[in-house]
A = this chain, B = another copy of it.
Amino acid sequence: MTTGTRTGRRAGASGTRDAIAAAARRQFAALGYDRTSLRQVGIEAGVDPTLVGHFFGSKQQLFAAVTELPFDPATTIPALLDGPRDEIGIRLARFAVGLLETPAARERVVALVRAAASEDEAARVIRDLLTRAVMLPIAEGLGADQAPYRASLVMSQIVGITVARHIVGIEPLAGREPEALIADLAPVLQRYLTADLAPPSGAAVSG
């Protein structure tokens, strides 16, 4: 069903999967998300590059798997994009606030954001994984202009909610009922994703 490994050094599926994950962690750390390729990960792992896709799917899924994101982008992104374009704000607010209400997921996200304040590795996960591999495909899926900038604006508000509500504990935001917070965040996330933005004047000049 799968192609054989090129070297045959790996004992079985579990060994192959572990070797790919280890190579992926090294390459994502060394090169960043954009410059890492499934093909190079396979080569570094000493396996047939097609096996990387076989075991992990897309680059987004590989990255999510090796960094233990508390949700699966492969199902989350299509689910968030599935619905009216002018209701992406409420769907995304419901997902983000809901995720942070789940103790195990909150623990992981809070640990990540907390670590990002001082460790570049954690900051990179927020930049590359949450922004680049999750939020950007959502912004792009909506077909609006300036998708990368929109993705980063949305992340700024979601990170801000994580810090204000779950780390610093700013009241009454920290104790706000999830449904009310979702309703208040939805129009802001909607605006960041689909409303007209200021033109990126920096893009009009060279350099």
Contact = CB atoms under 8 A, between A and B. Distances in A.
Q: How many copies does the complex hold?
A: 2
A202 B165 CA distance: 16
A172 B160 contact: no
Given A158-B160, A167-B123, A188-B188, A201 B173 contact: no
Contacts of A149: 172-173, 176
Contacts of A148: 171-172
Contacts of A114: 117-118
A57 interface: no
A97 to B, nearest CB: 12
A161 B118 CA distance: 16
A181 B153 CA distance: 9
Given A118-B117, A201-B180, A173 B188 contact: no
A68 interface: no
Contacts of A197: 180, 183-184
A148 B117 CA distance: 26
A60 B157 CA distance: 27
A54 to B, nearest CB: 32
A194 interface: no
Contact of A156 (B163, B179, B201): B163
17 contacts: A116-B163, A117-B167, A123-B167, A126-B170, A131-B170, A148-B172, A152-B170, A152-B172, A152-B174, A156-B160, A156-B173, A159-B164, A172-B200, A177-B200, A177-B202, A180-B201, A184-B198
